[in-house]
Structures are given as structure tokens and as C-alpha cells.
Amino acid sequence: MKKVAIITGASSGMGKEFVLTLDNYLNVDEIWAVARSKAALEDLKKMVNTEVRAIPMDLTDQECFFKMQELLEEEKPDVRLLINASGFGIFDSTNDMKMADAEGMVDLNCKAIVKMTKLALPYMYEGARIMNIASMAAFQPTPYMNVYSASRHLC
Ligand SMILES: NC(=O)c1ccc[n+]([C@@H]2O[C@H](COP(=O)([O-])OP(=O)(O)OC[C@H]3O[C@@H](n4cnc5c(N)ncnc54)[C@H](OP(=O)(O)O)[C@@H]3O)[C@@H](O)[C@H]2O)c1
């Protein structure tokens, strides 16, 4: 059974750093790198020794979870690690914030984490780990971080 680590938000920021850092520590056959930017995910392949599978998908799009489910059913991997590091924040008054941005934060910062975790769990065995990246903003009131903070509190 192929051992894999699934890392979302792998195209930049913390998700990418997890890929680069864990390359030296993880005993896995493949890192499944998830984000929208295919080019950035492909670039990762040149930066690490571990095999990287680029999985370009928009985690606010329900369709992508069907694709991920299919991939998991096909490969039946041993998922040793899931890191949910994708996320974004728009900081504005609730009144002025676009509905699409508010919805997007809930979809990506909360719902995608729940869905990825639900999909991966049947393929995770003893000793496997899940890491969800939240934010200190989840625990303190901060001006203009209304929907963002709530979305991070829920995750
Ligand atoms: N940086 C901080 O100081 C900090 C502190 C506390 C909490 N956080 C939380 O951690 C998250 C990640 O932080 P970061 O600094 O690593 O941010 P980042 O550099 O902006 O990385 C965000 C990652 O999420 C991916 N992403 C965004 N929208 C997506 C979508 N619709 N579908 C799939 N992937 C998507 C991005 O890739 P694509 O654009 O290629 O899709 C990127 O890989 C933040 O959003 C925040 O919630 C960050």
C-alpha cells in the first residue's frame, strides 16, 4: 500500500513550507499537493526528493471532493498525514464584504477541512496524523476579521 501525505494549500505559504520541510522527515512514497495553481504545484516536484503528485483543484468547488474521493478509492493509499493548510481571509466590514468572499471563507476555511478529513479518514490507520491550520484570530475579537475569525473558530 502506497504511503502518502496529503497537504492542501501546498502551492504557497505554510502549505508549501510543510512540503519542503517534511520532505526530509516523512517516510512516505508520495506527497499529494493540493491547491488551485497547477504550475506552482508542478514546481514543487523540482524542489523535493519525495515524489509529488500535483492535484490542482478549487476546494470551494463541490465537484473537487468527488474527484478526491475517486482518487482515494482508486489508489487506496495509506494516508499517514493530512495537513489542511489552505485558507484565505478578506478583512472588511461585514456590510461591505462581498457575499462571494464571505461564502468563500466559510467554504474553504471550514467546509473544505471537514470534507477533506471525512474523505481521508477511512484511509488513515494507527499513528496517522491530521493537522488543521486555524488562526489566533479564532480566539480574539479583531476589527474587520468578522467572517474570517468565525470561519477559523469553526475549523
Ligand atoms: N500567514 C499567517 O500569518 C497565518 C496566520 C494564522 C493563520 N493563517 C491561516 O493559514 C492559511 C494559510 O496561510 P498562508 O500564509 O500559508 O497563506 P497563502 O500563502 O495565501 O496560502 C494559501 C494556500 O491556500 C490555497 N488556496 C487558496 N484558495 C484555495 C481554493 N479555493 N482551493 C484550493 N486551495 C486554495 C492557495 O493556493 P492557490 O491560490 O494556488 O489555490 C495557497 O496554497 C491562511 O489563509 C490563514 O487562514 C495564516
Please write the tens of the pLDDT for every residue from 97-132. 999 999 999 999 999 999 999 999 999 999 999 999
Sheet holding 129-132, edge to edge: 51-56, 30-35, 3-8, 78-84, 129-132
Share of the chain above pLDDT 90, in %: 97
Among 87, 76, 69, 63, which Cα is nearest to 8's? 87
What is the C-alpha to C-alpha distance for residues 12 and 16, in angstroms, rounded to an integer? Answer: 5
Domain boundaries, the chain: 3-154
Among 64, 58, 154, 50, which Cα is nearest to 110's? 154
132, 155 Cβ separation under 8 angstroms: yes
What is the C-alpha to C-alpha distance for residues 21 and 24, in angstroms, rounded to an integer? Answer: 6
Q: pLDDT at position 24, please?
A: 87
Ligand 1 atom nearest to CA at 11: 43
Residues lining ligand 1, CB < 6 A? 9-15, 35-37, 40, 58-60, 85-89, 108-109, 133, 135, 152
0.75 surpassed by pTM: yes
Q: 67 CA to middle of ligand 1, Å? A: 21
Please write the tens of the pLDDT for every residue from 10-32. 999 999 999 999 998 999 999 99
Q: Which CATH code is given to the segment(s) 3-154?
A: 3.40.50.720
Please write the tens of the pLDDT for every residue from 52-91. 999 999 999 999 999 999 999 999 999 999 999 999 999 9
Q: 85 CA to middle of ligand 1, Å? A: 6
